[in-house]
Amino acid sequence: MTQNSSIGHGDNVFIDGQDLWSDLMETARFGGTPKGGIRRLTLTAEDRQVRDWFVRTCEELGCTVTHDSMGNQFARRAGQDDSLPPITIGSHLDTQPTGGKFDGILGVLGGLAVLRALHRAGYVTRHPIELINWTNEEGSRFTPPMMCSGVFAGVFTEQEVLDKRDRAGLRFGDELEAIGYRGSEPCGQHPVTAYFELHIEQGPILEAEEKTIGIVTGVQGARWYEVTVKGKDAHAGSTPMPMRHDALLAAARMIEAVSTVALSHAPTAVGTVGLIENRPNSNNVVPGEVFFTIDVRDPDDAVVQQMEAQLYDLLPEIAERSGVALEIVRIWDAPAVHFDPACIGMVEAAAEESGYGARRIVSGPGHDAAYMARITPTAMIFVPCLDGLSHNEAESITEKDAEAGASILLKAVLKADAVFNNA
């Protein structure tokens, strides 16, 4: 390839929105559900299928595709100066158990659209450009989320992630080997210049304000907990109410307390119990054990800390009143993240130049970009989703907004290519 000097600012490099949409619909086949969503849990057969598709498609565009020891995939398009660390784009292809077609997937396929646009125009950037598919962003099968971008950024060790087990007891490292995506390059030993991530908002603000582009300035803080409540199994017909040690009743009161704590820090804080297991889960047995998770978030780390302190006060009180034992384990702590001002400015300038309605916004959900921001200049781009709905099979965006987001991603990458690593 040779650089086309007539497009020094990428004027003739453009996103093909129809091809992007086609990619979104095609990859939705891997793990597609009857309700129109996707069930593509990390390190499953469906995950392997979409990874194989990613390799084939990127190689057709002249990219070299590799994967590291955590299964993170890197599609590299050579630059004029291939000694420069690459400018990277990324997100994830794994989904929730009842996930939609766009969460994470838009970021990877929007990045693919960028590579395709450069390829078709014959435009060679100064830096190499790399598109990344991060392993296990969702944290649905293996917790915590953003696990392998976390290893890349030095938040987790490789071994602790390899030893993680899902609820069925299957080990992460074994499952990674099983799908054939355990690479030889140690995770994290991969240089980067900057990182950009395109994503659906997963909230209602852009749609409500009729904005096309969210210029993401950072990610709010989050903490996850696993809670085990232990009472005593007993016969439902013969155990008097005052003599019961009902783990599920106690857990219900605790779940309500999570909501109460979050509401006490309204309007910014949120608290969620999203997973619950009741044992023995029989019609005529007083539940003897309940396991559930807690997710608390706020843009201010001090508020997250206050919420934790309140929960550590309230939940033991409920356990004592209910005659049950309680164990709370914090399994994930992700402090609030502030993205790089220069990268934010590139996204903002791209939106202004393109004439899209845009606004600055803080991300409620966590993203791989939150960990990448620890090691390299980083920014994110949001586009609206219908009714702010995500983590749901009915998740929906428009083809026009998908194209707009990828176009801003392309422009931001070209701006970064012109600015970074200059003498």
Q: Indicate the annotated binding residues for Zn(2+).
A: 92, 103, 138, 199, 391
Q: Give the closest residue to 369 by CA, choosing from 17, 65, 111, 48.
A: 111
Are 402 and 219 in contact by the 8 Å Cβ rule? The answer is: no
Terminal-residue alpha carbon distance, the chain: 25
From the number of C-beta atoms within 10 Å of its C-beta (0-12, 13-18, 19+), residue 78 rates as middle
Which amino acids are annotated as binding site, given as ranges?
92, 103, 138, 199, 391
CB atoms within 10 A of CB 117: 22
C-alpha span between 212 and 76 (Å, rounded): 29
Place of tokens 């992007």: 20
CA dihedral angle for residue 40, residue 45, residue 47, residue 50, rounded to 10 degrees: -110
C-alpha span between 264 and 271 (Å, rounded): 11
**How does DSSP assign 314-328, residue by residue?**
HHHHHHHHHT-EEEE
CA dihedral angle for residue 117, residue 120, residue 124, residue 125, rounded to 10 degrees: 0
C-alpha span between 89 and 409 (Å, rounded): 8
Give alpha helix (H) positions in 196-300: 205-208, 247-263
